[in-house]
Amino acid sequence: MSNLASPLVFDGHNDVLLKLYRAGGVSASKSFVTGRDGAIDLPSATLGGFGGGFFAVYVPSPVDLEFKFEEMAKPTYDLPLPDPIDWEDAFPVVMSQAAILFDLEARGALTVCKTAAEIRATLSSGKMAAIFHIEGAEAIDAELNTLEVLYRAGLRSIGPVWSRSTIFGHGVPFRYPSEPDIGPGLTDHGLRLVKRCDELGIMVDLSHLNEAGFWDVARHSSKPLVATHSNAHAICPHSRNLTDKQLAAIRESDGMVGLNFAVAFLRDDGRMLADVPLEQMLRHLDHLIEHLGEDRVGLGSDYDGAVVPEELTSCAGLPKLRHAMAKHGYDDALIAKLCHENWLRVLEKTWGA
Ligand SMILES: [Zn+2]
């Protein structure tokens, strides 16, 4: 490992669009280029070798995020899910955040990619590659008309729920300790959504589904099962993490899991406290690799959406993670797979070549 800013990290989840939306929308895009107080911007990405990933469009609930993280810092917690959000309220927010993504593209900060080949070409040109992802399908109508239009606008990945219930299904509340088997799964609308996503080539993200929803997708989707930002339940028994049985199904489908940097899903004690050594991330990676194989594990930072380990608060810190992987005994080929190769493999399989 001569250059610790490589291999480039292409990662399963970030919330920088939400942060820019809250900071004023398109007018805040410039800070992404010049530098901002947050986890991802161009200067930090260059320093850390962050090549991009899934850029989530997410409709926030009126609930205070600071309060949520405060609750999750306690030894046990069981957060009620916020109320559902109507299509009429969600759609404009999705349009605003998607507009920020395309504004970043217009500024030359990134390229919105629709194929694995485009991602590969963008990464090798030295530019940031982004996938247009929606976390929580509130802005999709029951007829799926918005899905059709958003697909043509570049949407290539969607989570039927961000934990909060939608017309498509019920998600997993934030509870520690807890099994992920809480509540009902997908609705009939949800099953139709999965079917149409499979036909179009939109990846269905399992990360915020509860276990019933996970198995609904497993039964009805013909595609690899993917959890973009989730960890091992055997190490951190949080409702958001994946049991070994779920990992076996993901392996069977030739899908993958992106390691979530959020400390509440990393720590054995499930607390949202940032003093987490990088070795704790390696423990999850070891477990995921043991159960999924080396080809089905990647990263899913949750950057700009969660409290992350102190050493990795910005993507400029990613060389420390590569260093920890090498020190832990991962060879160059495995590190390249974890950093981006596995995402490219699974996306190619999901979207078609
Ligand atoms: Zn999430």
Burial (CB count <10 Å: 0-12, 13-18, 19+), residue 88: exposed
CA of 119 to the centre of ligand 1 (A): 22
Tell me, in angstroms, the distance from the centre of ligand 1 to residue 205's CA.
10
CATH fold of the domain at 9-351? TIM Barrel (3.20.20)
Q: pLDDT tens digits for the chain (353 residues)?
A: 446 889 999 999 999 999 999 999 999 999 999 999 999 999 999 999 999 999 999 999 987 666 788 999 999 999 989 999 999 999 999 999 999 999 999 999 999 999 999 999 999 999 999 999 999 999 999 999 999 999 999 999 999 999 999 999 999 999 999 999 999 999 999 999 999 999 999 999 999 999 999 999 999 999 999 999 999 999 999 999 999 999 999 999 999 999 999 999 999 999 999 999 999 999 999 999 999 999 999 999 999 999 999 999 999 999 999 999 999 999 999 999 999 999 999 999 999 86
Between the CA of 1 and the centroid of ligand 1 the distance, in Å, is 31
pLDDT at position 1, please? 43
Ligand 1 mean position, distance from CA 306 (Å): 9
Structure tokens at 272: 């949202």
**Alpha carbon of 132 to ligand 1 centroid (Å):** 15
Sheet strands side by side (includes 226-227): 226-227, 256-259, 297-299
Say how many Å lie between the CA of residue 302 and the centre of ligand 1: 7
The CA 58 to ligand 1 mean position distance, Å, reads: 9
Span from the CA of 257 to the centroid of ligand 1 (angstroms): 13
Could you tell me the distance, in angstroms and rounded to a whole number, from the CA of residue 162 to the centre of ligand 1? 7
Model pLDDT, residue 65: 65
